[in-house]
Structures are given as structure tokens and as C-alpha cells.
Chain A
Amino acid sequence: MYGLFLRHFYLITRSFPRVLDLVYWPTIQITLWGFISNFFATHTTYYNNAVGVILTCAILYDFLFRTSIGFNMLFLEEIWSRNFTNLFIAPMKIGEILTSLVATALIRALIGLIPAVLLTSPLFGISILDLGIFLFFLFLSLYLFGITLGILVSAGLLRYGPSFENIAWSTMFLLAPFGCIYYPIEILPEVFQKIAYLLPLVYIFEEARNILINQTVDIQNIYYAFMWNGVYFVLSIALFYYSFNVAKNKGTLINMGE
């Protein structure tokens, strides 16, 4: 019995991502649900006139989640199937690998999204299409951020190997409290608000609520979302190239999946 305990104890203590994973989930869950509870306790009438807002935001968030996880899954599947080395000795540039993953992740996300959008109308009498033409910009912005997160996680997998896998699953949840998906930014403590304003998510979800509740459009929110997306996208690409070079120095590429 003690032997089995030791087997898992040694595994955890030898891997920083695994230790982080243990601490991470309870902290994130408590923080996210704390803010949601706090918001509903203090703003009971906020959603009175727009019952579809929560559902619309849930669909938008799910699209982001599917895009990001979809990208990570494509990368992880190559590691799990021990096909990773075969891919990296094929004559493909890093840019070509990323482009094909980005396109495939979009198709995967759309396959998941379309049925969800179609179901909301007959089941709940709500249509996400109420967001109008700006829905396209919100989705595009979420897609960009989703693949940016996917590229960042894949860079981590290249750098640290399969032990980074747990982080791959949890990045979206780390950002959820700061994304202000189900509540306005004012509900966050001031220091969290400063962090939230550095992410495109807050602009996207604030704008979705603004369109649905106030029936107005604030172009500045969409502009800021794209601006931050551009910054993070460029950073993620740079980090992926850097991680690839580190992996070539450390030997991660040849040992991946073993």
C-alpha cells in the first residue's frame, strides 16, 4: 500500500506541472464561482430583460473553449499515438505545421458550435444571431484567442514534454474568472480588473452583453479585443519558435511520447 502511495508521490514531486495541477483546480473553481455568486447576490435584476444573455455568453465561451482545446488535442494526439517524431522529421516548416493545426481546429470548433446554436432556438427560444453582424467579429476574436492559447500550450508541450498535458486542459479555466463571461467587470476586485483589461476576453463578453441588453454597439470594445488578440497571437508564435529551438537543444523532440 505504502509502495503504491510512493509510486504516485514520486511522480508528483518530479513534475512541476503536476504539482501546479493539484493546487490550480480548487483555486480556480472557488474564484470563478465566488465571483458569479457575488454578482447574482448583489445584482439580482441585471439580467431581467435579457434572458438569453447567459446562454449566449455560454455559447461564445464554449466556442473559445472548443477552439483552444481542439488545437491542443491535435497536438496531444500526435504525442499519445507516438507519431510526434514522424511529423517533426517530415519536411514541414513550423509555419506550415501551425497553419494546418489552426485550420483543423476551426473546423473542429465549428462542428461543435453549429448544433449548439441550432438547438438554443427551439429549446430555449433564444437565438445567438440576435447579436447581428457583430457576432462574426466576436466569434473571430474568440477564435483568434482560442488558437493563441492553443499555440501557447503547444509551445509548453514542446518545451516540457507530455508532463505539460495537464496545463493544456486547464488554461481556459485559469482565464475564466478574468474573462468576465457571466458578470460585468465591475464585480472583480480592482487589481483583477487591471489584469482583465489586458485580455481580449473582457472586451468580447462586455460587448456581447452590451449588444443584447442595451441594444447598442461599442466599436471600441471590438477594437480593443482585436488589438490584444494581435499582441498575444504574435507573442504565442514567437514563443512556439523559441520552444522549438529549446526542444532541439534539450532533445525533447526525439523523446516525446516515450
Chain B
Amino acid sequence: MKNLVEVKNIKKNYGKNEAVKGISFNIKEDEILGLLGPNGSGKTTTIGMLLGLLKPTSGEIFINGKKLEGNRIEILEQINFISPYIELPKKLTVKQNLTVYGKLYKINNINERIEFLSEKLRLGGLLNSITGELSSGQKNRVSLAKALINEPKVLLLDEPTASLDPEVGDFVRSFLEDYKKEKKISILLASHNMNEVTRLCKSILMMKDGIIIDKGNPEELINKHGRKNLEEVFLKLSRSKNELN
């Protein structure tokens, strides 16, 4: 499997504050990589750099073999992002929002794509609804449809199931598993839901204070640290001194 994402020793300083202190990792196609860490560990900064919204102080990022710096627009056509902290315009209908983003991503056959996504994400009855009037679960599925409108090769997910009830959360996780398997895409999942990460990710990066302090698959990490589950590993690593640089 080839690497769709290659991150090479990226650093990000905000003045004297070193938010990310030189991290490297790869994400293969058909892989979901979990990005864990306490608040302020550098996860959002890392995602911002992968999206081209933040310029790394040093280091390089390659997406599907192309360097992000200098190829930002071409790379943005191949990636997408979902976060509970960003929303779609509330006054537009679901279909209008998806059409706008279909146009922005220069999608041919927008209607077909919207029809496909609305079927997969159970949005059929919501297409003419006002986005701002939807429930959290419905909005989340619409945001996911927007994030998939361009058939991204790389999907960045920041807390994709935060504030969802267990049923919708489970639906979204199952959808992501199936979609990843079907389309062979790479997914970076930043989450504080350890059960979600255990279920979806074969490999995990643990970040703290801007560095990767540990990595491995969930089972390996649980055994290595002698804990019962990933949540306990997370707590141990969050509270301990940095173990691995």
C-alpha cells in the first residue's frame, strides 16, 4: 500500500511557543490513523498544516506524492475535512449547500453525487430542509456529505462524532469503515473517544506538548503499557513525562 500522506519533521512555532516540535508520520491508502492527545498537544495545529491553513515553520508535507507547498490548490482538490467547530451556512437548504461545495470542488454531475451521498448517509428526506434547523446528528451527516463531495483521497476528521447520540455515532463509524474500505482512502482521525479510536484505527499516534510520545496499534499500546484499554493508556501517557521523541 502506498503512502497517501507523508509528514516529514514538521514544526510550528507561534512566536516563542512551539506548538508542534518536529513530528513525522505517514498514512497509507486504506488506513485510518488515530491522532490522540490532550487538549493543547498540537493535534489541531497538525491538521491545520495538513489542510494548508497553517504554514509549517519547517518540515515538509506530501499528499499523494505531491508537496503541499507550491501545490496547495491541486492538493485541496484531493482532501477534505470535517470538524464540529466548523459549519455549513445555516440559511441554505442541504441541497443548496452541497451544490455550492460541488461547484467549488468543480464536481461534474453534482446531482448524481448528491443523490449518491444522500442515499449512503440517509439524507434523502432532508435535501430541501434548512441546514440550520437540523438536529446535531443530521447536521453531522450533512457535513460528512460535504466532506465527501469531492471523493477525497485523504479525509481529515476532527472529533467527527462529538455530541452525537450512540446510534448516530455508530452509524457514522460504520459508514466511515465501509467508505474507507470501498474507496481505499486515507483517514486521519483526531478524537477523544477511545472506543471509537480502538474500533476504527489500526495505528495510533499519541501526541503531547507538540511531539509524538508513542505510537502503535491499539492492542500493542494497551499491552505495552499494561493497561486494560486505550483510555487508561491515554490517561497514563497524558499524565506522565514524555516517553518517546
| A positions within 8 Å CB-CB of B | 77, 81-93, 245, 248-251, 253-254, 257-258
Q: Can you spell out 7 A-B residue pairs with CB atoms less than 8 angstroms apart?
A: A81-B90, A86-B101, A91-B74, A92-B73, A248-B53, A248-B55, A258-B85
A89-B81, A254-B47, A254-B51 known; 12 new pairs, CB 8 Å cut-off, are: A81-B89, A82-B86, A84-B86, A85-B53, A85-B81, A86-B81, A87-B104, A89-B51, A89-B52, A92-B73, A251-B14, A253-B48
Of all A-B residue pairs in the complex, the 10 with the closest CB atoms, nearest first, are: A91-B76, A254-B48, A90-B104, A253-B53, A82-B87, A248-B55, A91-B77, A85-B86, A254-B53, A81-B89
Q: Which residues of A contact B105 (CB under 8 A)?
A: 90-91
A254/B54 contact (C-beta < 8 A), A83-B86, A90-B104, A92-B104 known: yes
Q: Shortest beta-carbon distance, B178 to chain A, in Å?
A: 24
Let me know if B88 is at the binding interface, CB within 8 A.
yes
CB-defined contacts of A251 to chain B, threshold 8 Å: 14, 45, 48, 53-54
Picked from A77, A245, A249, A257, the residue with its CB within 8 Å of the CB of B86 is A257
- CB contacts under 8 Å to A, within B18-76, are 44-45, 47-48, 51-55, 73-74, 76
What is the CB-to-nearest-CB distance from A85 to chain B, in angstroms, rounded to a whole number?
Answer: 4
Interface residue? B146 (CB, 8 A): yes
B122 is an interface residue with CB less than 8 A from chain A: no
Instruction: Report how far A249 CA is from B104 CA in the complex, Å.
Output: 25
User: Given A248-B53, A254-B48: A93 and B14 within 8 A (CB)?
Assistant: no
Q: From the candidates B44, B80, B88, name the one contacting A89 in the complex (CB within 8 A).
A: B80
Q: Mark B78-108, 1 if CB is under 8 A from A, else 0.
A: 0111010111111100000000010011100
Picked from B14, B45, B80, B87, the residue with its CB within 8 Å of the CB of A83 is: B87
Pairwise interchain contact B146-A86, C-beta atoms closer than 8 A: yes
Kindly state the separation between the CA atoms of A7 and B51 in the bound complex, as whole angstroms: 35
Which of chain B's residues have a CB closer than 8 A to the CB of A89? 51-53, 76, 79-81
CB contact between A93 and one of B54, B73, B77, B90 (< 8 Å): that residue: B73
> How far is it, in angstroms, between the C-alpha of A83 and the C-alpha of B88 when the chains are bound?
5
Q: How far is the CA of A138 from the CA of B83 in the complex (A)?
A: 46
List the B residue with the shortest CB-CB distance to A253.
B53
Docked-complex contact B55 and A245, CB < 8 angstroms: yes
Report B-chain residues with C-beta under 8 Å of the C-beta of A84. 86
Instruction: Bin chain B's interface residue count.
Output: 20 to 34
Closest to A250 in B: B14
Interface string of B103-120 (1 = CB under 8 A from A): 011100000000000000
A248 to B48, CA, bound (A): 9
Q: How far apart are A30's CB and chain B's nearest CB, in angstroms? A: 38
Residues of A within 8 A of B85 (CB): 82, 85, 257-258
A92 to B100, CA, bound (A): 13
- With A and B bound together, what is the CA distance between A102 and B8 in angstroms? 39
Chain A residues with Cβ under 8 A from B79's Cβ?
Answer: 89
Residues of B within 8 A of A88 (CB): 53
Q: How far is the CB of A160 from chain B (nearest CB, A)?
A: 15
Evaluate whether A91 and B89 lie within 8 angstroms (CB atoms) in the complex, with A248-B54, A251-B45, A254-B44 already known: no
Q: Which residues of A contact B52 (CB under 8 A)?
A: 89, 248
Output the least CB separation between B63 and chain A (Å).
12
> Which residues of chain B are within 8 angstroms of A77 by Cβ–Cβ distance?
89
Render B125-158 as a binary contact track against A, CB cut-off 8 A, 1 for contact: 0000000000000000000001000000000000
Distance (whole angstroms) from the CB of A214 to the closest CB of chain B: 49
When chains A and B are docked, how far (Å) is the Cα of A164 from the Cα of B47? Answer: 26
A182 to chain B, nearest CB (A): 37
Task: Give the docked Cα–Cα distance between A86 and B76 (Å).
Answer: 11
Closest to B45 in A: A251
User: CA A92 – CA B72 in complex, angstroms?
Assistant: 9
Give the distance in Å from the alpha carbon of A93 to the alpha carbon of B54 in the complex: 16
For residue B235, give the distance in angstroms from its CB to the closest CB of chain A: 27
The answer to whether B53 touches A90 (Cβ under 8 A) is no
The interface residues of chain B lying within 8 Å CB-to-CB of A90 are 76, 101, 104-105
CB distance from B134 to the nearest CB of A (A): 14
A258 and B86 CA atoms in complex are apart in Å by: 8
Residues in B with CB closer than 8 Å to A86 are 81, 86, 88, 101, 146
A78 nearest CB neighbor, chain B only: B89
* Given A85-B86, A86-B86, A91 contacting B45 (CB threshold 8 A): no
Closest Cβ–Cβ distance, residue B94 to chain A (whole Å) = 14
